[in-house]
Amino acid sequence: MDFDLTTEQKMIRKEVRRFAQKEIAPIALELDEKEEFSSELTRKMGEIGLFGMFVSDKYEGQGMDYISYIIGVEEIARIDGSQAATIAAGNSLGIGPIYYFGTEEQKLKYLPKLCSGEALWGFGLTEPTAGSDAGGSKTTAVLEGDEWVINGSKIFITNAACDMTAGVTVQAITGTRENGKPEYSCFLVEAGTKGFKAVAMHKKLMWRASNTGELYFDDVRVPKENILGNKGDGFHQMLSTLDGGRLSIGSMGLGGAQGAYDLALNYAKNREQFNQPISKFQAIAFKLVDCAMEIELARNLLYKACWLKDKKRAYEKEAAMAKLYCSEVMSRVADHAVQIHGGYGLMKEYDVERFYRDQKLLEIGEGTSEVQRLVISRYIGC
């Protein structure tokens, strides 16, 4: 077994870390405070190749492996969860479905701008009454002549309601299967389509500088060729998309845990009480040891899952495990980090406060921790 990263992967970590420190760190607090999505910063992330990392250069992607992409997300998350969310959703949820399931015409039409960071694309799955229970979806699509007519709504959709949003992939009910269950299909809906409305959501606890939208479809008509794949493929496409997305969320948990740990370790070495750095006290040192150990374990699990995906081997169980473990590791690390900072950890001037808030979404988004345990239980035969 070889645990060494390639020269290219090491370079990606170095360059993305340098970018995050230089471009994101100085403004992360301000963007969070103002709840401001930054198009300028997003385009800069596109310029250094953070979109379309796993996409073939045929569609102007970077043509890299999945581990390289995950390292990119990890290094952004180490500084700011909001910008990492933009990258993770832009790739796994926006670009991914079009790249893996789209027609050649769809790929050539949409992917170049998405891979360059010129535009973003959302993935409309969650609804007001359908979160963990995707079967509770009510959005419908009916074929009328040469057009699909879509009606319904979506909520909590990342990258779906900003000035860079070029469109969304929306899952809708298109019929009933033989077993009586709904048939799902996915459609590409461009921004500006008549009847399609996207509204940005604010007053969030976390990822306040990430764009989140509510989507409304009122007799939205799209050409019949805007279907993604074949009619009835939507459920499979959703599951496949979420499998890859779990790796992205896992990477955000890993990077966020690393960032919170770095802040705690630095603070503990410089904060003095009783005439010595608090890192010298066993109670603090042991917290830091536990953090370092869990981060190491999380990285090994996540990278293994990505390695399996790169090798085109079954990785779904490991993806669910990595998403679950990395999310909860960040929870424990962020909690320790705030505790180590004491009262200062509760103040917005200290970045650790933002890490503490940003973590919670990871245990909820793209499958709650409870759902991940359910998914894993099925893989182990429960």
- pLDDT (mean) for 33-45: 98
Residue 247 pLDDT:
97
pLDDT the model gives residue 330: 98
Q: Mean pLDDT, to the nearest integer, of 321-332?
A: 98
Task: Specify the pLDDT at position 136.
Answer: 79
Q: What does the alpha-carbon distance between residue 53 and residue 153 come to, in Å, rounded to a whole number? A: 30
Structure confidence at residue 132 (pLDDT): 76
Candidates 97, 75, 377; CA nearest to 256 is: 75
Closest residue by Cα to residue 226 from 94, 102, 123, 137? 102
**Residue type for position 172:** A
324, pLDDT greater than 80: yes
Question: How much is the pLDDT for 186?
Answer: 97
> Reduced to 3 states, what is the DSSP secondary structure of residue 350?
coil
User: What pLDDT shows up at residue 315?
Assistant: 96
pLDDT tens digit sequence for 222-259: 999 999 999 999 989 988 998 999 999 999 999 999 99
- Catalytic residue, chosen from 294, 353, 363, 366, is 366
Q: Which two tokens stand for residue 102?
A: 């789209």
Which residues in 229-266 are b (16+ Cβ under 10 Å) and which e? bebebbbebbebbbbbbbbbbbbbbbbbbbbbbbbbbe
Q: Give pLDDT tens digits for 134-179.
A: 777 899 999 999 999 999 999 999 999 999 999 999 999 999 998 8
Pairing of strands 140-144, 147-158: antiparallel
Whether 15 and 62 have beta carbons less than 8 Å apart is answered as no
Residue 1, pLDDT above cutoff 90: no
Query: In 42-75, which positions are buried (b, 16+ CB within 10 angstroms) versus exposed (e)?
Result: bebbbeebbbbbbbeeebbbbebbbbbbbbbbbb
pLDDT at 129: 87
Q: How confident is residue 362, by pLDDT bands cut at 50, 70 and 90? A: very high
Q: How far is CA 215 from CA 28, 162, 182, 333, in A?
A: 27, 12, 21, 34
- Across all residues in the chain, what is the average pLDDT? 96
pLDDT for res 214: 98
Domains and CATH numbers, the chain: 7-120 (1.10.540.10), 122-232 (2.40.110.10), 236-379 (1.20.140.10)
Given a cut of 90, is residue 81 above it in pLDDT?
yes
Mean pLDDT, residues 178-204: 96
pLDDT at 286: 98
Distance CA(240)–CA(316), nearest Å, equals 9
Query: How far is CA 47 from its chain centroid?
Result: 19
* pLDDT > 90 in the chain, percent: 93
> Region 189-196: what's the mean pLDDT?
98
The predicted model gives 26-33 an average pLDDT of 98
Q: What is the pLDDT, as a whole number, of residue 137?
A: 87
Instruction: Determine the pLDDT at residue 135.
Output: 72
What pTM value is reported for the model? 0.95
- Judge whether residue 373 has pLDDT over 90: yes
Question: Catalytic site residue 23?
Answer: no
Where do we find the tokens 């009835």? 232
- Token couple for 114: 């998405």
Dist CA 120 CA 166 (whole Å): 6
The b-or-e profile of 299-336 (16+ CB within 10 A means b, else e) is bebbbbbbbbbbeeeebbbbbbbbbbbbbbbbbbbbbb
pLDDT at 210: 98
Q: For 262-318, how does the pLDDT look when each residue is reduced to its tens digit (9 = 90+)? A: 999 999 999 999 999 999 999 999 999 999 999 999 999 999 999 999 999 999 999
Q: Which pLDDT does position 201 carry in this prediction? A: 97
What length does the chain have? 382
